[in-house]
Chain A
Amino acid sequence: MSFEPKIVGILCNWCSYTGADLAGTSRKKYAPNVRVVRVMCSGRVEPTFILKAFQQGADGVLICGCHPGDCHYQDGNKKTARRIPLLKKMLAQFGIEDERVRLEWVSASEGDRFAAIVDEMTEQVRKLGPFSGNGEQPVGKG
């Protein structure tokens, strides 16, 4: 059996979660590897959530929010846009590959885009192989 990555998706309620729902209502098919956790705003995403996900065995974390300027709460996504790159710098020092954490803007009408992002990220993480907490790549992939 090939390695099936587990990816945690943290989606804002207004744009991205609605966009993911739209992918559903339009029956767009995509990889079943992302499990979505809903927050009201991507600005609620604490860096520790992402660390927690890796600690619990996630192979990747996808954070989605409204496009810049479209935030339901004016500019919560701008805060995320600053926090995630900072976190990524730290993760790099731990040897966590850049592709394992992804921040994307998905609007309520972008069901197709959400599906495409999930497919793309799933493949990228699949190539990287399972995440190992000690920063070393496990032998063999899956």
Chain B
Amino acid sequence: MMEPKIGVYICHCGSNIAGVVDCAKVTEYARGLPKVAVARDYKYMCSDPGQNLIKEDIKNLGLNRVVVASCSPRMHEPTFRRVCQEAGLNQYLFEMANVREQCSWVHTDKAMATEKAKALVSAAVRRVYYQEPLETKEAAVNPATLVIGGGVAGIQAALEIADAGHKVYLLEKDASIGGHMAMFDKTFPTLDCAACILTPKMTSVGQNKNIELMAYSELVELSGYIGNFKAKIRKKARYIDTVKCTGCGRCSELCPTSVPNEFDCGLGNRKAIYIPSPYAVPNKAIIDAKNCRHIKGLAEGKDVCRLCEKGIEKKGQPGCEAGAIDFSQKDEIKEIEIGNIIVATGFQQFNPTTIYQLGYGRLNNVLTGLEFERLTNASGPTGGKVTLKDGSEPKSIAILHCIGSRDTNYHKYCSRVCCMYSLKFAHLLREKLPEAAVYQLYIDMRCAGSGYEEFYERLQEEGVNFIRGKGGEVTDIAEKPEEKGKLVVMVEDTLVRRKRRLAVDMVILSCALEPRADTEQLARILTLSRKADGFLLEKHPKLDPVATTTDGIYIAGCCQSPKDIPDTVAQASAAAARVLALISKGKVEIEGAIAFIDEERCSGCKICIDLCPYKAIGYDEVKKVSRVNEALCKGCGTCVAACPAGAIKGRHFTSEEIMAEIEGALA
């Protein structure tokens, strides 16, 4: 090993670090540390002049180790590694001391913060002493992409990648793509018909030769790394041969079983064999095994019904002529290989039954936002007629904002879209029922977006009543004769400072968007992190809102946080662009920080083999030693910590390096 010659650079980060840490003192201290040839402080180390400072020193002073004390390595380690490389120094001979996120930003006592900064620099200097140059390897990028979720985000991302000529697997848990957007009636603020703008895209997905649509399927396992993932996908049994099914819908007409239709939020019914929606893609039938009489009968050893298959002979109605019904279908596991993954799994609507006083589920004509979307939708259960349960038209409607959002009892965050969709509901109601009174009960109106404030103003002119106050309770107990048979909404009108009782016929709860219940499970399969509110965590909230902590996995849409359709589509396109960039680059660098087994010291005990979560360690039967498969090792170091012979070296995290760092931190 060449005698280490270390350069130490202390960043002020403007006043971010220098405001709390005495950078001059830390620099002076660093100069006195063993093997340190030069120590400097500078206002912004990450700036061009800052970077050049390091490069010049490497060249002129012959530095062979570099330490930068600045922000978190999660922020600028790649920057400074590149700087070293550009100056001809191996990137693994660089180390960072985090004196911003973990020092100046979290401490107020300047003397103590400066002492801690010194300790962190000393730790990095001692560690870098032992660091070794490592080689990174390159691997080819598989140009196929997996998009998880077939809502508007997934559709957008899939189409962009497929249109660029690359293979996309589009995974959708439901029987049809379309997601929530397919359930909507109009979209704010332009009042475009949601189906009119979405269905052409859905159809394109179905027709695009580069897209393999895997509907009614879910991800069960993922292995590999950026550029080279392997995914296991469960294709759930649909009991329909989708190649044969023509989507004619005859089977549904024959089916005697009627159950609530999920697509209509249970407001209407569907059959046990059905086509998921009028614009389903794929436009194929599916059998709901929980409700199908024949499938339930099979479990009891009986052969019943099968009307969809056989038809009703007496009435001269034939069954499925395509012969597409297949009761013997089982779930299938399919393995695919992909280079990148886009997660676009969306959201679920907050369930307002948990807020008992709002009466949802107890009182008639209290609807969620999504239910109202279906009610007012021309393809919905009433053909777009807004009616009460008894079929009559409502004369007054109250729309309650922030149900489950901006509420410390449920979700602290603002769901961002509810103000706007509530306004849209009000507009649709004014249009369809010009005689009806429409009330908006809001905390604040949040209408940020192109054309959004203008839409709010328009609604004020359309004669909608805006009451500033949160609807606190909905009851059917009348206190006055005019409240009889009505729903009474209790609200404190904060503009006139008075409590009001609002008697209406219909209440719409503008419910929060929340993380899907299966987000946790998905995050585990993909090794993604989640935020405190349960949504998926992006790599950086400002500078990298599309990537995740796992390289090669991107996020788009409401799985990251509530957003409207334009933002969702923009993020989906951004995710697609990131994937396309990697595909066109064609190769990825594989981290050199992986495990290595010293065959001389390995006793062949095989403890490491069972510990490795990636099956990256194999056993050489001839030499009787374990050996690491470098393509599979991810460098977690679990085997290193467990090897009783100390034969495994965790490159870039060797025991020597870590021990030296601990020593330095305590010096």
B655 at the interface (CB under 8 A from A): yes
Give the CA-CA distance A71 to B637 in the complex, in Å. Answer: 13
Interface size of B as a range:
35 or more
B625 at the interface (CB under 8 A from A): no
Binds B, one of A21-29, A94-102, A132-140: A21-29
A20 at the interface (CB under 8 A from B): yes
Contact call B641/A18, Cβ cutoff below 8 A:
no
Contact call A40/B653, Cβ cutoff below 8 A:
yes
Binds A, one of B31-39, B95-103, B346-354, B449-457: B95-103
Give the CA-CA distance A11 to B282 in the complex, in Å. Answer: 47
Give the CA-CA distance A37 to B98 in the complex, in Å. Answer: 10
A89 at the interface (CB under 8 A from B): no
Contact call B116/A14, Cβ cutoff below 8 A:
no
Among B112, B120, B658, B663, max chain A CB count under 10 A is at B658
A108 at the interface (CB under 8 A from B): yes
Whether A49 touches B662, Cβ cut-off 8 Å, given contacts A27-B106, A76-B636, A109-B532, is: yes
Give the CA-CA distance A8 to B612 in the complex, in Å. Answer: 27
Q: Contacting A108 at CB < 8 Å: which of B537, B640, B658?
A: B537
Give the CA-CA distance A8 to B397 in the complex, in Å. Answer: 61
Give the CA-CA distance A19 to B112 in the complex, in Å. Answer: 22
Give the CA-CA distance A113 to B550 in the complex, in Å. Answer: 23
Closest residue of chain A to B109 (Cβ to Cβ) is A32
0/1 interface trace, chain A 36-79, chain B, CB 8 Å (1 if under): 11111101111011001100111000000000011111111001
Contact call A18/B529, Cβ cutoff below 8 A:
yes
Q: Contacting B662 at CB < 8 Å: which of A15, A32, A37?
A: A37
Q: Contacting A76 at CB < 8 Å: which of B100, B108, B613?
A: B613
B523 at the interface (CB under 8 A from A): yes
Give the CA-CA distance A108 to B116 in the complex, in Å. Answer: 23
What is the minimal beta-carbon distance from B378 to any residue of chain A, in angstroms? 42
Closest residue of chain A to B539 (Cβ to Cβ) is A18
Contact call B101/A25, Cβ cutoff below 8 A:
yes
B162 at the interface (CB under 8 A from A): no
A141 at the interface (CB under 8 A from B): no
Among A57, A108, A110, max chain B CB count under 10 A is at A108
A35 at the interface (CB under 8 A from B): yes
B601 at the interface (CB under 8 A from A): no
Identify which of residues 116-134 in chain B touch chain A, using a CB-to-CB cut-off of 8 Å. 116, 119-120, 123
Contact call A27/B666, Cβ cutoff below 8 A:
no
Give the CA-CA distance A38 to B658 in the complex, in Å. Answer: 9
Chain B residues near A73 (CB, 8 Å)?
527, 613-614, 634, 636, 638
Whether A35 touches B665, Cβ cut-off 8 Å, given contacts A21-B101, A83-B641, is: yes
Chain A residues near B529 (CB, 8 Å)?
14-15, 18, 70, 107-109
Chain B residues near A44 (CB, 8 Å)?
636-638, 640-641, 650, 653, 658
A4 at the interface (CB under 8 A from B): yes
A17 at the interface (CB under 8 A from B): yes
Chain B residues near A28 (CB, 8 Å)?
106
Whether A35 touches B663, Cβ cut-off 8 Å, given contacts A4-B112, A41-B636, A79-B641, is: no
Contact call B523/A8, Cβ cutoff below 8 A:
no
Chain A residues near B112 (CB, 8 Å)?
4, 32
Chain B residues near A107 (CB, 8 Å)?
529-530
A115 at the interface (CB under 8 A from B): yes
Closest residue of chain B to A75 (Cβ to Cβ) is B613
Contact call B641/A45, Cβ cutoff below 8 A:
yes
Contact call A24/B105, Cβ cutoff below 8 A:
yes
Give the CA-CA distance A15 to B115 in the complex, in Å. Answer: 26
Contact call B106/A115, Cβ cutoff below 8 A:
yes
Contact call A76/B72, Cβ cutoff below 8 A:
no
Contact call A35/B641, Cβ cutoff below 8 A:
no
Q: Contacting A17 at CB < 8 Å: which of B74, B108, B527, B635?
A: B74
Chain A residues near B115 (CB, 8 Å)?
32
Chain B residues near A15 (CB, 8 Å)?
529
Closest residue of chain A to B661 (Cβ to Cβ) is A37
Contact call B106/A8, Cβ cutoff below 8 A:
no
Give the CA-CA distance A124 to B445 in the complex, in Å. Answer: 48
Contact call A32/B613, Cβ cutoff below 8 A:
no
Give the CA-CA distance A83 to B641 in the complex, in Å. Answer: 10
What is the minimal beta-carbon distance from B156 to any residue of chain A, in angstroms? 27
What is the minimal beta-carbon distance from B231 to any residue of chain A, in angstroms? 16
Contact call B116/A32, Cβ cutoff below 8 A:
yes
B333 at the interface (CB under 8 A from A): no
Give the CA-CA distance A70 to B529 in the complex, in Å. Answer: 8
Contact call B666/A56, Cβ cutoff below 8 A:
yes
What is the minimal beta-carbon distance from A3 to any residue of chain B, in angstroms? 13
Give the CA-CA distance A83 to B640 in the complex, in Å. Answer: 13
What is the minimal beta-carbon distance from B456 to any residue of chain A, in angstroms? 32
0/1 interface trace, chain B 622-651, chain A, CB 8 Å (1 if under): 000000000000111110111000000010
Chain A residues near B103 (CB, 8 Å)?
32
Chain B residues near A58 (CB, 8 Å)?
662, 666
Give the CA-CA distance A76 to B635 in the complex, in Å. Answer: 11
Give the CA-CA distance A109 to B561 in the complex, in Å. Answer: 14
Closest residue of chain A to B112 (Cβ to Cβ) is A32
Chain B residues near A83 (CB, 8 Å)?
641
Q: Contacting A53 at CB < 8 Å: which of B72, B537, B666?
A: B666
Contact call A52/B106, Cβ cutoff below 8 A:
no
Chain A residues near B530 (CB, 8 Å)?
107, 109
Whether A14 touches B523, Cβ cut-off 8 Å, given contacts A41-B636, A46-B655, A79-B638, is: no
Contact call A23/B638, Cβ cutoff below 8 A:
no
Contact call A18/B74, Cβ cutoff below 8 A:
yes
Give the CA-CA distance A23 to B100 in the complex, in Å. Answer: 11
Give the CA-CA distance A27 to B636 in the complex, in Å. Answer: 30
Give the CA-CA distance A86 to B663 in the complex, in Å. Answer: 23
What is the minimal beta-carbon distance from A114 to any residue of chain B, in angstroms? 10
A6 at the interface (CB under 8 A from B): yes
Give the CA-CA distance A40 to B667 in the complex, in Å. Answer: 23
Chain A residues near B655 (CB, 8 Å)?
46, 48-49
Chain B residues near A76 (CB, 8 Å)?
613, 636-638
Given contacts A32-B107, A46-B641, 11 further A-B contacts (CB under 8 A): A8-B665, A23-B101, A25-B105, A27-B106, A28-B106, A32-B109, A36-B98, A44-B641, A45-B641, A109-B529, A115-B106
| List of 8 A-B pairs having minimum Cβ-Cβ separation, nearest first | A24-B101, A44-B637, A43-B638, A73-B636, A74-B613, A35-B665, A41-B636, A24-B105
Residue ranges of A at the interface with B (Cβ–Cβ < 8 Å): 4, 6, 8, 14-15, 17-18, 20-21, 23-25, 27-30, 32, 35-41, 43-46, 48-49, 52-53, 56-58, 69-76, 79, 83, 107-110, 115
Cross-chain pairs A/B with CB under 8 angstroms, 28 sampled: A14-B527, A18-B74, A18-B549, A21-B74, A21-B102, A27-B105, A29-B107, A30-B106, A32-B106, A32-B109, A32-B115, A35-B116, A36-B102, A37-B662, A38-B73, A40-B593, A40-B636, A40-B653, A41-B638, A44-B640, A44-B641, A45-B641, A52-B662, A58-B662, A73-B614, A74-B613, A83-B641, A108-B549
